[in-house]
Structure 1
Amino acid sequence: MLTTPTPEPSPEDISRGLAELERHLGEQASPRPATPSARPAEADGQTKRVQRLRAEVAEAHQLALLQGDDAPLLVDTAKVRKRRKQAREAARLHELGQDPAMRAWQAARMRRLLVAAAMVSLTLALAWSTAGVQTFAADGAPAWSPSWVFAWLVEPFMSLALLVVVGARAYLGTRGQPIDSPTLVRIEWLFLALTLGMNAWPYLPGVAAEFSISRLVLHILGPVVAVAIVTALPIILAAFTRLDHGTDERSSKGVTGRKYSTNTDTPGPADDLDEPALAIATAHARDLITSGDLPAYPSAAAIRRALRCGTDTARAVRDALIQGA
Structure 2
Amino acid sequence: MSITPPAPAPMPDPDDVARGLAELERHLSQQAPPPLPAISPSPSHPAEADGQTRRVLRLRAEVAEAHQLAALQGDDAPLLVDTAKVRKRRKQAREAARLHELGQDPAMRAWQAARMRRLLVAAAMVSLTLALAWSTAGVQTFAADGAPAWSPSWVFAWLVEPFMSLALLVVVGARAYLGTRGQPIDSPTLVRIEWLFLALTLGMNAWPYLPGVAETFSISRLVLHVLGPVVAVAIVTALPIILAAFTRLDHGTDARSGNPLTPLEYRANATADPDPGEHSDGPGIDVVTAHVRALIAAGQLPPYPSAAAIRRAARCAMDTARAVRDALVKEAT
Shorter-chain TM-score bucket reads 0.5 to 0.7
- Counterpart CA distance in 1 for 2:255 and 2:101 is 20
- Counterpart CA distance in 1 for 2:261 and 2:218 is 59
- Counterpart CA distance in 1 for 2:172 and 2:302 is 38
2:44 is the alignment partner of 1:41: yes
Q: Which residue of 2 aligns with 1:125?
A: 131
Q: Which amino acid in structure 2 is aligned with residue 139 of structure 1? A: D
Q: Which amino acid in structure 2 is aligned with residue 145 of structure 1? A: S
Q: Which residue of 1 aligns with 2:168?
A: 162
Aligned pairs for 1:235-274 within 5 A: 235-247=241-253, 251=257, 258=262
Q: Which residue of 2 aligns with 1:176?
A: 182
2:151 is the alignment partner of 1:145: yes
- Counterpart CA distance in 2 for 1:311 and 1:153 is 56
Counterpart pick for 2:77 among 71, 76, 93:
71
- The C-alpha deviation readout for 1:155-204, integer Å capped at 9, x for no partner, is 00000000000000000000000000000000000000000000001111
Compared CA separation, residues 214 and 4, structure 1 to 2 (3 A): farther
- The C-alpha deviation readout for 1:115-146, integer Å capped at 9, x for no partner, is 00000000000000000000000000000000
Q: Which amino acid in structure 2 is aligned with residue 224 of structure 1? A: V
- Counterpart CA distance in 1 for 2:220 and 2:228 is 14
Q: Which amino acid in structure 2 is aligned with residue 227 of structure 1? A: V
- Counterpart CA distance in 2 for 1:122 and 1:257 is 32
Percent of residue pairs bearing the same amino acid type: 88
Compared CA separation, residues 75 and 248, structure 1 to 2 (3 A): closer
Q: Which residue of 1 aligns with 2:195?
A: 189
TM-score by length of 2: 0.64
- Counterpart CA distance in 2 for 1:93 and 1:116 is 27
Task: Decide which structure has the larger Cα Rg and report it.
Answer: 2
Give 1:251 deviation, angstroms: 3.1
- Counterpart CA distance in 2 for 1:47 and 1:77 is 44
- Counterpart CA distance in 2 for 1:200 and 1:6 is 167
- Counterpart CA distance in 2 for 1:59 and 1:156 is 91
TM-score by length of 1: 0.66
Task: Give the match's secondary structure for 2:45.
Answer: helix
- Counterpart CA distance in 2 for 1:37 and 1:60 is 31
- Counterpart CA distance in 2 for 1:193 and 1:203 is 16
Compared CA separation, residues 252 and 162, structure 1 to 2 (3 A): farther
Q: Which amino acid in structure 2 is aligned with residue 84 of structure 1? A: R
Q: Which residue of 2 aligns with 1:60?
A: 66
- The C-alpha deviation readout for 1:72-117, integer Å capped at 9, x for no partner, is 1122222222222222211211111111111110000000000000
In structure 1, the gaps of 5 or more residues are 8-34, 261-309, 313-325
- Counterpart CA distance in 1 for 2:228 and 2:83 is 59
Task: Give the match's secondary structure for 1:60.
Answer: helix
- Counterpart CA distance in 2 for 1:149 and 1:251 is 63
Compared CA separation, residues 179 and 46, structure 1 to 2 (3 A): same
Compared CA separation, residues 5 and 196, structure 1 to 2 (3 A): farther
In structure 2, the gaps of 5 or more residues are 1-6, 12-37, 265-300, 304-333
Q: Which amino acid in structure 2 is aligned with residue 85 of structure 1? A: K
Q: Which amino acid in structure 2 is aligned with residue 65 of structure 1? A: A
Compared CA separation, residues 241 and 168, structure 1 to 2 (3 A): same
Q: Which amino acid in structure 1 is aligned with residue 131 of structure 2? A: A
2:235 is the alignment partner of 1:232: no
- The C-alpha deviation readout for 1:261-316, integer Å capped at 9, x for no partner, is xxxxxxxxxxxxxxxxxxxxxxxxxxxxxxxxxxxxxxxxxxxxxxxxx968xxxx
Task: Give the match's secondary structure for 2:40.
Answer: helix
Counterpart pick for 2:222 among 216, 230, 243:
216
